[in-house]
Amino acid sequence: MPPRSPYDDLVHPRTQKKPSPEVEALKDVVVEDPSSGFVGAVVRCEKDVVHLEDRFGKVRAYPLGPGFWVDGRPVVLVRPKQNAPSGPQRSASGSTYVVGARARVAREGRIYVEGKHDAELVEKVWGHDLRIEGVVVEPLHGVDDLPGIVREFRPSAGRRLGVLVDHLVTGSKETRIAAQVTGAHALVVGHPFIDIWQAVKPSVVGITAWPTVPRGEDWKTGVCRRLGWEDDTGYVWAQRILARVSTWTDLEPTLIGRVEELIDFVTTE
């Protein structure tokens, strides 16, 4: 056997394997997992995990790293880079984000919303504004409880009460109750949607319109059935709807105006 040469380890540039390029796991980037054949768009990216949703609405989670294909080539999926803002940062509600600001001590005034989902949506979009202003949002768990809450709260100057009600339309039970409690220091406003789910634009959750559900049938259950979604409405809200909301532009203008009206009302000195 001839002696080993220092040139034996040289590799021809045409046969040398190039490393796969890195691709940021940005929202809506279409990714293929060749090992399973699953193809989906990025819906969100956490610390070390990317979530992909296929065209049937099925979501799978994968660890970031190599082993994916994008545009027909192997890539390494990495977390999106956090670019430094070139101008004033904006909060999810569109207001100027106050960097490093501490939450104000909670005011005596309060905002009540009809349920847990309403409170979570308001917190996600207006949370920064509410902490800066020192406004606490609490779930109402049904408009029938409103007269008792107002009596117990005893609104007054410097202790204002704002309430956001679902399905506040002419002639409804909600409208009659709202009229009973509205006064100089208590403001009840509402939106026309049957449920807060409808306040999220259909395009944000990947549908053309919210389906019509006949009266007498549970609306959320009926929506899930007609869209082929899971029958766990809590999961659907958290993963299919709320997780897709990023800013105020994902919501219907009717809701945006009512929430900002309430924030202005309870923060008036």
Residue 1: band (very low, low, confident or very high) from pLDDT cuts 50, 70, 90: low
Residue 52: band (very low, low, confident or very high) from pLDDT cuts 50, 70, 90: confident
Q: Which amino acid is at 194?
A: I
8 or 21: which leads in pLDDT: 21
Q: Buried b / exposed e across 196-231, counting CB within 10 Å, b at 16+?
A: bbbbbbeeebebeebeebeeeeebbeebbeebebee
pLDDT recorded at residue 16: 52
**CB half-sphere exposure, 45, CA atoms < 13 A:** 19
Over 90: is that where the pLDDT of 209 sits? yes
pLDDT recorded at residue 27: 85
- Are 212 and 198 in contact, with CB atoms under 8 Å apart? no
The whole-chain average pLDDT of the chain stands at: 83
Task: Summarize pLDDT for 215-265 with one digit per residue, the tens.
Answer: 899 999 999 999 999 999 999 999 999 999 988 999 999 999 999 999 999
Residue 102: band (very low, low, confident or very high) from pLDDT cuts 50, 70, 90: low
Task: Give the lowest-confidence range in 117-126, 143-152, 217-226.
Answer: 143-152
Whole-model pTM above 0.75? no
CA separation for the pair 15, 118 (Å, rounded): 59
Give the CA angle between residues 258, 259, 260 to the nearest 5°.
95
Over 90: is that where the pLDDT of 176 sits? no
Structural domains in the chain, sorted by start: 22-78 (2.30.30), 110-200+245-266 (3.40.50)
Task: Summarize pLDDT for 133-146 with one digit per residue, the tens.
Answer: 888 888 887 788 88
Task: Summarize pLDDT for 221-233 with one digit per residue, the tens.
Answer: 999 999 999 999 9
pLDDT recorded at residue 211: 95
pLDDT recorded at residue 106: 65
Residue 91: band (very low, low, confident or very high) from pLDDT cuts 50, 70, 90: confident
Over 90: is that where the pLDDT of 182 sits? no
Give the CA angle between residues 218, 59, 75 to the nearest 5°.
160
Residue 269: band (very low, low, confident or very high) from pLDDT cuts 50, 70, 90: low
